[in-house]
Structure 1
Amino acid sequence: MKISFVLSVCFSLLAFGSCYSSNGYDPLETALKVQRSKRSVEGYVMTKNVKADNTFSPVYVGPQDGLKDVDKITTLPGQPAGAGFDQYSGYVTVDPNHGRALFYYLTESPANSSTNPLVLWLNGGPGCSSFGNGAMMELGPFRVNADSVTLSHNKYAWNNVANVLFLESPAGVGFSYSNTTQDYITGDEQTAKDSYTFLINWLERFPEYKTRDFYITGESYAGHYVPQLAQLILQNNKVTNQTVINLKGIALGNAYVDDETENTGMFDYFWTHAIISDEIHSGIISNCNFSENATITDKCDDYVGQAYGAKSNIYFYDIYAPLCSPFSNSTPSISEFDPCTENYILQYLNTPAVQQSLHAKPVQWESCNGFINANWQDMPFTVLPVIKDLMASGISVWIYSGDTDGRVPVTTSRYSIDKLQTPVQTSWYPWMYEEEVGGYAVGYQNLTFVTIRGAGHFVPSYQPARGLAFFSSFLQGKLP
């Protein structure tokens, strides 16, 4: 099997979006190429999802007294006046022997914070920051302005309807760290275990949330993180004598959940959106087999390479948006999202006063950790069996998709849902927002699928109003 594998020097130099657009770095594809190359090694067995054996060893719980007050943020540098809500950030130790600690940022609701649910947000990568990408670029209460010094208020922030907890996971991502360098060689299983340990400790620090309705949301490679963590929570809830987490539902955005559908869905999307030619698409269809045990031939690899070359000057994550360039200010995105936002965030979060206000260790913050990404150890070919288990558990399971994303496009999500073989209960229909089509929705048995029209990979960035409308429906458990 031939797989071309190139690592970009932009890993530690530039933010995720600008790094991709200028140098071709795609963190998800980089990690997938590592995993696919392993399959060519004789005797290699792809990691499987393993069911629990109904045993439980209590996780580490450290002393939390007084740490909530220490973590309270007085104000962020450049923050606009009149925020009207509390915010906290700091570290939760998950392994004292290794010195492994995960960084979090909590933004409470400006109204009804004492009764609103708690929502955990996870960005993917693997290896990308939930705080810098998720909170500061997507659904958090503030956006970084072009001066990289001041912030503006995001009126469509998700903390309008929930208390939102952003977790930098695994260790080595964003501000999270370990004193044991070997911990930076990690994978799905350890990430789920550490995230669970984080939650148990965090709930001791914030005990008022112990009985609150709890949801997990995320995008991209969080299509692995979210269902695996949810499964672990439900399994441990049955056998633990520690805190029982009141998990009510999950939402997966433009999520990588199955390697076969990711490939077929992406190349079909390229073709139907005029990014690749009929000849390239036909070559992929004729020569590529993306199923789990198939061999990738030289011919297939050649056509795939042509497809990737064809989209090289397109912002992969929102195919109709401009790239970040000196001309960006004169070429606004369709969704009015500044394509250089990642650069502003990078500079802001590397300002010493900002790191001090966040109670973060002084570090060179980066949007995605390339070392973690390139050394990811375990990655199931598919997490659809986990999602099926969650659907059967009775919690709410939603999959949502911005329809201008080329990285994990809407076709990929639809093909993945087809594999779940769950019957339709509410047929495909347009949902409305401010008298326009906000997207489309289908209600399946134990599953809801929603598209957000005009949104790319980072739904709350490109369509913040429609994104909040979708999110509110998810929390209410009602089709939009």
Structure 2
Amino acid sequence: MAAASYFRCVCFHFILQLLFSKPAVPFSSIKSLPGFSGSLPFKLETGYIGVNEKEDVQFFYYFIESEGNPREDPLMLWFTGGPGCSAISGLTFEIGPLHFNMVKYNGSLPTLALNPYSWTKVASIIFVDSPAGTGFSYSRSFQGSKTTDTTHANQGYGFLIKWLLNHPSFIANPLYIGGDSYSGMIVPIIVQKISDGIEAGYEPLLNLKGYLLGNPATDPKFDFNSKVPFAHRMAIIPDELYKRAKRSCKGEYIEIDPSNIQCSNDLQAISKCTERINNPHILEPKCPSNRPLNKIAENRRYLIERYGESYEPEFRRFGCRNYNDFLCNIWANNKSVQRALYVRKGTVSVWTRCNMHLHYQKDVESTVSYHFYLNSKGCRALIYSGDHDMNMPYLGTQLWIKSLNLSIVDEWRPWLVDLQVAGFTRGYSNHLTYATVKGGGHTAPEYRPKECYAMFKRWISQAPL
């Protein structure tokens, strides 16, 4: 629990600054967006919040009020994974009210449509670009652009406090923190900070109710070691190879002894079986990005006119799921879109959905102890797994939950949508719920939006799945 103790010792001076500086944070109400026909049928706000002492790190956010009863419905702060993937991922690919129309690119601006299964129908959601260098968030200094898991969590907590101070009407709303993928390394730390702040009597007194995570990174011992047994269960590798590797590697597939030749050979054989598998969803085709020269030449003038000489997005194969990435990059780099979102001019030269070149150090090895601590405090939690994800397999998630040694209060059973099995669930003591999403991938709502909306709506209203 040493790491957990460290994070509880929040810099008191920094908290005092957050509570009493009363920063003037500008935000903008948006009535319409390029690519969407007509006025937006929901309330959208964007803005920036400085999240470090010097305020040279500016987090950009999208806030959407609940389409139900925003004064009473829960408020959720949503973190996207990566690290370095923009909040637009959650907003348009997963749980937000918009999605891109999947039509072949013809040189015009990609268009948007409503998502009938948006989680904003029952909750107000803040989608934040974090850490610095993600989406439209930026740093005015090189030092501010350097981030670790620790600083990411500190800044995420600071963002929430400042946002609520500037939106005091939401302070009393039931509060949840959510995210997926790598956010599993950040969200539990932030939730513990909130919990400790409440116990210490920090103002504003937040109405924390719980947190939720989808296919979360938690601990490589569980997450990555589970990939080999997952491949075996999914008939990607044969029994003989799995048994041999399990024996030669002793169940450890990430930190192997270089002198263990048999283990290395077995893992190489497994790699040959899995190299053409699409890890985010093993049943979908693996679609590499491509840059057909004729397509680039055909659209080069269009791209230069809108984004400048340096911008040349990766062209994706139409018909593949990752074509969405291409459409998203075209849309978010459009100058009229950035003006409509009130993006500060000159802060981001080229927008990318996932920035893989952050100055980021992963300094938290495991968040299992945070889950244990939060459970001991009775904090509600929903952990869900798309069951066809090989990036963060459900097997690893189930193993770290098992390591908490919690009592089972609701035995393994199916949960239904439209009288069909949407997945399986199990309930644990102190309000921890685990669920699989049948047919879901790494970001389950992207693959099973209807089912995931039903899951979220039931859980957030404290009804059984």
Same fold at TM > 0.5: yes
Give the Cα separation in 2 of the matches to 1:73 and 1:47: 45
The one-character-per-residue Cα deviations of 1:49-82 (angstroms, maximum 9, x if unpaired) are: 43524873343345555734xx211311112336
Among 53, 71, 74, the alignment partner of 1:114 is 71
Matched, 1:352 2:335: yes
Give the Cα separation in 2 of the matches to 1:138 and 1:394: 28
Instruction: Provide the residue aligned with 1:50 in structure 2.
Output: 5
* 1:209–1:420 distance in 2 versus 1, CA, 3 Å: same
Cα pair 1:124 1:225 within 8 Å, conserved: no
* 1:302–1:47 distance in 2 versus 1, CA, 3 Å: farther
Cα pair 1:67 1:205 within 8 Å, conserved: no
Q: How does 1:200-239 map to 2 (within 5 A)?
A: 200-239=161-200
Instruction: Provide the residue aligned with 1:403 in structure 2.
Output: 387
Amino acid across the alignment from 1:410 = Y
Cα pair 2:57 2:145 within 8 Å, conserved: no
Instruction: Provide the residue aligned with 1:342 in structure 2.
Output: 325
Cα pair 2:135 2:351 within 8 Å, conserved: yes
Instruction: Provide the residue aligned with 1:415 in structure 2.
Output: 399
The one-character-per-residue Cα deviations of 1:69-105 (angstroms, maximum 9, x if unpaired) are: xx21131111233642110111101125261111111
* 1:212–1:370 distance in 2 versus 1, CA, 3 Å: same
Cα pair 1:120 1:167 within 8 Å, conserved: yes
* 1:281–1:76 distance in 2 versus 1, CA, 3 Å: same
* 1:291–1:231 distance in 2 versus 1, CA, 3 Å: farther
Give the drift of 1:302.
5.1
Matched, 1:372 2:358: yes
* 1:302–1:195 distance in 2 versus 1, CA, 3 Å: farther
Cα pair 2:76 2:126 within 8 Å, conserved: yes
Give the drift of 1:266.
1.5
Matched, 1:448 2:448: no
Matched, 1:125 2:108: no
Instruction: Provide the residue aligned with 2:37 in structure 1.
Output: 80
Instruction: Provide the residue aligned with 2:301 in structure 1.
Output: none
Give the drift of 1:177.
0.8
Cα pair 1:275 1:311 within 8 Å, conserved: yes
Runs of 5+ unmatched residues, structure 1? 1-45, 333-337
* 1:203–1:292 distance in 2 versus 1, CA, 3 Å: farther
Cα pair 1:94 1:100 within 8 Å, conserved: yes
Give the Cα separation in 2 of the matches to 1:103 and 1:237: 26
Amino acid across the alignment from 2:408 = V
Q: How does 1:165-176 map to 2 (within 5 A)?
A: 165-176=126-137
Amino acid across the alignment from 2:421 = V
Give the Cα separation in 2 of the matches to 1:47 and 1:173: 30
Q: How does 1:29-428 map to 2 (within 5 A)?
A: 48-51=3-6, 52-53=8-9, 56-59=12-15, 60-61=17-18, 63-65=22-24, 67-68=26-27, 71-81=28-38, 83-95=40-52, 97=54, 99-129=56-86, 131-145=87-101, 146=103, 147=105, 148-288=109-249, 296-297=257-258, 299=261, 300-301=263-264, 303-324=266-287, 338-362=321-345, 363=348, 364-372=350-358, 375-380=360-365, 382-428=366-412
The total of aligned residue pairs comes to 424
Amino acid across the alignment from 1:199 = L
Amino acid across the alignment from 1:320 = L
Runs of 5+ unmatched residues, structure 2? 291-315
Secondary structure at the aligned position of 2:224 is classed as helix
Instruction: Provide the residue aligned with 2:309 in structure 1.
Output: none
177-186 or 409-418, larger mean C-alpha shift: 177-186
Cα pair 1:223 1:257 within 8 Å, conserved: yes
Cα pair 1:101 1:177 within 8 Å, conserved: yes
Secondary structure at the aligned position of 2:50 is classed as strand
* 1:55–1:429 distance in 2 versus 1, CA, 3 Å: same
Give the Cα separation in 2 of the matches to 1:202 and 1:278: 53
Secondary structure at the aligned position of 2:5 is classed as coil
Give the Cα separation in 2 of the matches to 1:371 and 1:88: 28
The one-character-per-residue Cα deviations of 1:149-202 (angstroms, maximum 9, x if unpaired) are: 210110101101100111111111111111121233321111111011111111
Instruction: Provide the residue aligned with 1:40 in structure 2.
Output: none
Larger radius of gyration: 2
Matched, 1:469 2:454: yes
Amino acid across the alignment from 1:473 = R
Give the Cα separation in 2 of the matches to 1:180 and 1:193: 18
Give the Cα separation in 1 of the matches to 2:257 and 2:224: 12
Secondary structure at the aligned position of 1:404 is classed as coil
Give the Cα separation in 2 of the matches to 1:464 and 1:439: 13
Give the Cα separation in 2 of the matches to 1:163 and 1:215: 10
Cα pair 1:404 1:456 within 8 Å, conserved: yes
Amino acid across the alignment from 1:87 = L
Cα pair 2:26 2:48 within 8 Å, conserved: no
Give the Cα separation in 1 of the matches to 2:142 and 2:30: 29
Q: For CA contacts below 8 A with separation 6 or more, give which structure has more relative contact order.
A: 1
* 1:173–1:66 distance in 2 versus 1, CA, 3 Å: closer
Amino acid across the alignment from 1:73 = I
Instruction: Provide the residue aligned with 1:22 in structure 2.
Output: none
Percent identity (aligned): 30
Amino acid across the alignment from 2:352 = E
Give the Cα separation in 2 of the matches to 1:91 and 1:169: 11
* 1:150–1:268 distance in 2 versus 1, CA, 3 Å: same
Cα pair 1:260 1:290 within 8 Å, conserved: no
* 1:360–1:283 distance in 2 versus 1, CA, 3 Å: farther
Cα pair 2:31 2:40 within 8 Å, conserved: no
The one-character-per-residue Cα deviations of 1:428-448 (angstroms, maximum 9, x if unpaired) are: 011110011011111111211
Amino acid across the alignment from 2:128 = L
TM-score, normalised relative to structure 2: 0.84
RMSD: 2.6
Give the Cα separation in 2 of the matches to 1:86 and 1:315: 36
Amino acid across the alignment from 1:464 = P
